[in-house]
């Protein structure tokens, strides 16, 4: 019996989809420790997915490919996002006011750039690949910023003080975290409306939510549609209607409030039946996305293993292509000291067959005798007109069209990488 249970458990771990959750850092016994709120983990597991915790430690933002396959991302909890990430200069806050905010919200205003970088990269990855994404509290702010939106650096100083007293809302209760509530108005015919419709009274379209934040969405990205507002006008929930269909594996949503914490005092009973629906529908989308991923990846070949010398050559060529791309996309000219690094890419592009021993030698020399190298460089410098035209055309495109275009070129980059590795393997075989 124990053997069969072990086998069943092993099979289950392979079948269940993976949801990435980034940890938060705190101090315990004078040492940093990482943690994730257990409410989130319980709900993800209960609906049929496996939470995979991404540790918030230095350098992890460069290792996210190691967490593949990614079937869903849940971002929640954490300190304020670095304001430079959304570059909002319209807050008109004085240095004295910013310092006052830091003193008032000391546990939330300590910027964590590593966590910011990890989570913004994951959010953009979800947007590029249409991976299901659920953002709670900070996670909703990350999603908005990833799509070009901005935040209030402090709701009280930027929003509340400009409103009459009866319109102001307390969004954070330091002395009563779990039991703090405030009212939000739900927008009709949105996912939130469908989830909480049985709890709405007298057609008020209102529920009381738990929240814990002093920042919030200021300018909502054009990609999203609001689902709820608090009485002070702050957006409490939003989603992408073009990327929301859990039955098809689509889910992109941000909730500023905490449905997982909306429980009756001293019990685990939720305030409303709809509190768990965000997690339920999110995991439903994750499961479907996983099935699509499995079906699309059955024919994927294992990457070719290169020896140390060939791996070095591959990196030289990839570096050359990367530099060329930066020249094309950027506005600055190439520094003379960098020109030699382009030769390896030029040589590779003009090769129609596997490189000979002599060509390999030239490659190692990084283009000392590259054929038509100067012509290649000249072509790169003539792209200004094409670049300007491309920017003009893209400026007229919608966010959805730009997202699709970016996804296409990411796919082409992957294909190029695969072809590059096959060519390099041909070199190995020819040797």
Chain centroid to CA 52: 15
Q: Is residue 251 helix, strand or coil?
A: coil
Active-site option among 61, 105, 214, 258: 258
Active site residue 61: no
H or E segment and range at residue 11:
helix 2-15
- Residues 64, 121: Cα–Cα separation, whole Å: 9
Spatial CB neighbours of 4, under 8 Å, sequence gap ≥ 6: none
Spatial CB neighbours of 228, under 8 Å, sequence gap ≥ 6: 184, 185, 186, 187, 190, 192, 235, 236, 237
- Residues 242, 239: Cα–Cα separation, whole Å: 9
* Inter-residue contact 271 to 264 (CB < 8 Å): yes
H or E segment and range at residue 255:
strand 252-255
User: Counting beta carbons within 10 angstroms of the beta carbon of residue 380, is it exposed (0 to 12), middle (13 to 18) or buried (19 or more)?
Assistant: middle
- Residues 334, 136: Cα–Cα separation, whole Å: 43
- Residues 350, 344: Cα–Cα separation, whole Å: 10
Beta bridge partners of 237: 228, 255
Active site residue 260: yes
Four-residue CA torsion sign, 370, 375, 376, 377: positive
Four-residue CA torsion sign, 38, 43, 46, 51: negative
Active-site option among 76, 79, 119, 137: 137
Residue 398: name the closest of 148, 122, 119 by CA.
148
Active-site option among 260, 275, 281, 347: 260
Active site residue 180: no
Helix 113-129 / helix 138-146 crossing angle, nearest 10 deg: 60
Q: Which amino acids are annotated catalytic?
A: 137, 258, 260
């Amino acid at each position: 019996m124990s053997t069969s249970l072990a086998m069943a458990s092993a099979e289950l771990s392979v079948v269940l989809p993976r949801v990435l959750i980034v940890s938060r850092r705190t101090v315990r016994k004078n040492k940093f420790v990482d943690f994730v709120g257990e409410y989130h983990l319980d709900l993800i597991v209960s609906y049929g997915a496996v939470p995979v915790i991404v540790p918030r430690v230095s350098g992890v933002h460069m290792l996210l490919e190691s967490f593949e396959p990614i079937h869903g991302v849940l971002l929640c909890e954490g300190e304020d996002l670095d304001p430079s990430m959304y570059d909002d200069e319209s807050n008109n806050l004085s240095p004295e006011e910013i310092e006052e905010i830091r003193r008032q919200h000391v546990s939330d205003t300590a910027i964590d750039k590593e966590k910011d970088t990890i989570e913004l990269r994951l959010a953009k990855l979800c947007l590029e690949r249409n991976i299901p994404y659920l953002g709670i509290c900070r996670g909703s702010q990350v999603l908005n910023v990833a799509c070009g939106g901005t935040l209030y650096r402090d709701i009280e100083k930027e929003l509340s003080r400009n409103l009459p007293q009866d319109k102001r809302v307390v969004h954070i209760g330091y002395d009563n975290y779990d039991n703090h509530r405030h009212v939000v108005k739900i927008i009709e015919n949105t996912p939130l409306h469908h989830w909480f419709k049985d709890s709405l009274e007298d057609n008020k379209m209102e529920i009381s939510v738990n929240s814990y934040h002093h920042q919030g969405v200021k300018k909502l990205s054009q990609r999203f549609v609001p689902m709820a507002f608090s009485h002070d006008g702050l957006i409490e929930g939003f989603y992408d209607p073009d990327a929301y269909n859990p039955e098809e594996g689509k889910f992109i949503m941000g909730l500023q409030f905490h449905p997982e914490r909306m429980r009756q005092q001293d019990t685990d009973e939720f305030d409303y039946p709809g509190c768990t629906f965000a997690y339920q529908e999110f995991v439903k989308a994750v499961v479907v996305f996983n099935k699509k991923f499995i079906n699309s990846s059955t024919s994927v070949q294992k990457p070719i293993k290169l020896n140390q010398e060939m791996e070095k050559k591959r990196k030289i060529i990839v570096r050359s292509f990367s530099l060329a791309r930066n020249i094309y996309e950027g506005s600055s000219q190439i520094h003379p000291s960098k020109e030699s690094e382009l030769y390896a890419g030029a040589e590779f592009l003009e090769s129609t067959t596997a490189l000979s021993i002599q060509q390999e030698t030239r490659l190692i020399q990084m283009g000392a005798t590259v054929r038509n190298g100067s012509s290649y460089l000249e072509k790169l410098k003539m792209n200004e007109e094409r670049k300007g035209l491309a920017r003009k055309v893209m400026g007229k495109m919608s966010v959805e069209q730009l997202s699709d275009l970016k996804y296409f070129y990411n796919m082409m980059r992957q294909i190029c990488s695969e072809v590059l590795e096959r060519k390099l393997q041909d070199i190995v075989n020819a040797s």
